[in-house]
Structure 1
Amino acid sequence: MAVFLLVVIVTQQVATPGSTGGAVTPSSNAAGQTMAEKVARAQADDPMAWGDPKAPVVIVQWTDFRCPFCAAFAKDTLPTLFTQYIDTGKVRFELHDAALFGDQSVDAAVAARAAGAQGKYHEFMTALYAAAPDSGHPDLPKETLIGFAKTAGVPDMTAFAAALDDPALRKQVTDATASAQKLGVNSVPFFVVGNQVVNGAQPLMNFQSAIETELAKK
């Protein structure tokens, strides 16, 4: 259902949990833009995105910081994608919030954005996922989030702690989650690789295959 809704809504440009399974589903290209390009923020200074904004392939991931499969992807697959595709200018990778597992999921996404405001989004994400359990949803009280920020090297911890209660940041997360659900994203991790939907934390080779297919079109 998520795949169908995403394809339909994005193609028409109309502007809870995880799974290790899923599918890679190709979709048609409309108006010269891929599905990923249509939902991407495409901001050069985006702290939740990595890689050249003009890279030939865009990947959008919807994530929840309490999702064990999101953690598995971040630890087992994303580092290789950085080495092979993101750091080499072939892929632009964007994270979008889909805080589906309750208030602590929203709190964690707020904390990540607060770290990102100080240039430490990726480091915060890495610290949080490094501590994630192999299964189940971790307990993430604010004290734990502050600990991850310290591990990530967030320079101004006073500002970070204050930002955890920032209603504007919380609204950003809840709005992003609502947008994800409007697109039919109701499980995470969920990806769009160019014009292909990848549902779940699939093996590295599946992402490599999807990326290479998209690169071959350029």
Structure 2
Amino acid sequence: MESQLDSGALFVSKQNQIIVAIVAVLLVGLVTVFGVGQNTVGTEGNTDSASENEIAQAPDAAGLAGTVAAGQDDDLGALESPNPLGEIVLGQADAPVTIVEYSSLTCPHCGAFHRETLPELTKKYIDPGLVKVYFRPFPFDPYATAGAMLVHCVSPAVRGSFLDILFKRQQQWIQAEQPMLALQGIAQQAGLSESDFVVCLKDQKRLDGIRNIQSRAADELGVRSTPTFFINGGKLEGNQPLAAFEKMLKPLLADARGAQ
């Protein structure tokens, strides 16, 4: 019995060492992107639940083409370029208005948006087919980076619900004594085994994809805080109430109706 317990303890210890090593690698990645790896790029003021509707993965960014509103900056290449990891989209592909969200899974204002404002947007604009939302990662710490990688490792059929749970349980797993183990537990519920979890977070190509999304958004779109939204190319920063979104959405929807 003692030998079995010792063996189990050694396994857990080795697993923890692997996870700690992964966190260290992710931290180096953030330093590479931002120079210092601290939140100076962003979570001041009101910046920093996804609904139960299906969030589907799109193979490319075709749905983003032509979404730049008249009068907006034309230098939005990063916005219309495909997510190298595959898009995660809430809403119908032919919705006339597109919202691109850059967010961090550990950003409290991002969590508040997903729990409070997004359900309102979903009921009023997304479910009726008027708006679709693209979710793109902009992590500020290793835990948010790990979460973003894991979102793209779980089965496409559960990515939406997994993202939803990460935001809904945000404080629980972030404030856990060992956040990575808490994150692993949620990933396991989404179908990732312990070995899948480690393999996912050791995937350099996936990490590079996250870095690419983040650095291009910062360099080309001027994203400095989370959440940051682009509504048909128009920029909106922070966890804004529904009214702030509607101020931008209503003219765009009116134009779309007039063009029909």
Q: Calculate the TM-score normalised by the size of structure 1.
A: 0.74
Find the aligned partners of 2:213 and 2:113 in 1 and give their Cα distance.
21
1:142 alignment partner, one of 163, 180, 187: 180
For structure 1, the residue ranges without an aligned partner over 5 or more in a row are: 1-15
CA distance in 1 between counterparts of 2:73 and 2:228 reads 21
1:172 maps to 2:209: yes
What residue identity is the alignment partner of 2:180?
A: K
Q: 2:100 is matched with which residue? A: 60
Stretches of structure 2 lacking an aligned partner (at least 5 in a row): 1-40, 48-68
Question: Which residue does 2:126 correspond to in 1?
Answer: 86
Q: How far, CA to CA, are the matches of 1:104 and 1:61 in structure 2?
A: 19
Compared CA separation, residues 167 and 103, structure 1 to 2 (3 A): same
Q: Secondary structure of the residue that 1:77 maps to in structure 2?
A: helix
Taking the aligned partners of 1:190 and 1:54, their CA distance within structure 2 comes to: 23
Counterparts of residues 77-156 of structure 1 (less than 5 Å): 77-99=117-139, 101-115=140-154, 117-133=155-171, 138=175, 141-151=179-189, 154-156=190-192
1:166-200 Cα deviation digits (max 9, x unpaired)? 11211111111111111210100000112421110
Asked whether the equivalents of residues 40 and 94 of structure 1 are also in contact (C-alpha less than 8 Å), the reply is: no
Aligned counterparts of 1:20 and 1:78: Cα–Cα separation in 2: 19
Q: Distance in 2 between matches of 1:203 and 1:176?
A: 26
In 2, the alpha carbon distance for the partners of 1:40 and 1:105 equals: 23
1:198 corresponds to: 236
* 1:161 CA drift (Å): 4.4
* Residue 51 (structure 1) aligns with: 91
Conserved? CA contact 1:19–1:189, under 8 Å: no
What corresponds to 2:60 in structure 1? none
In structure 2, relative to structure 1, the CA distance for the partners of 1:160 and 1:189 (3 Å cut) is same
Cα–Cα, structure 1 residues 40 and 74, in superposed 2: closer, same or farther, change >3 Å? farther
Please give the alpha-carbon distance, in whole angstroms, between the structure 1 residues aligned to 2:89 and 2:132: 7
Conserved 8 A contact 1:66-1:138: no
State how far apart, in whole Å, the 2-side matches of 1:130 and 1:209 are. 27
Q: Does 1:72 align with 2:117?
A: no
CA 1:163–1:174 in structure 2 vs 1: closer, same or farther (change >3 Å)? same
CA 1:203–1:71 in 2, change beyond 3 Å: closer, same or farther?
A: same
Q: Secondary structure in 1 aligned to 2:171?
A: coil
Change in 2 beyond 3 A, CA 1:195/1:130: same
The sequence identity of aligned pairs, in percent, is 24
CA apart distance, 1:48: 1.3
Assess if the C-alpha contact under 8 Å between 1:58 and 1:193 holds in 2: yes
Does structure 2 conserve the Cα–Cα contact (< 8 Å) formed by 1:65 and 1:109?
A: yes
SS state of the match for residue 119, structure 1? helix
Cα–Cα, structure 1 residues 29 and 199, in superposed 2: closer, same or farther, change >3 Å?
closer
- Residue equivalent to 1:18: 43
- Sort the Cα spacing of 1:88 and 1:38 in 2 relative to 1 into closer, same or farther, 3 A: farther
TM-score by length of 2: 0.63
Specify the SS of the correspondent of 1:52: coil
- Give the number of equivalent residue pairs: 190
Counterpart of 2:7 in structure 1 is none
* Distance in structure 2 (CA, Å) of the matches to 1:128 and 1:83: 21
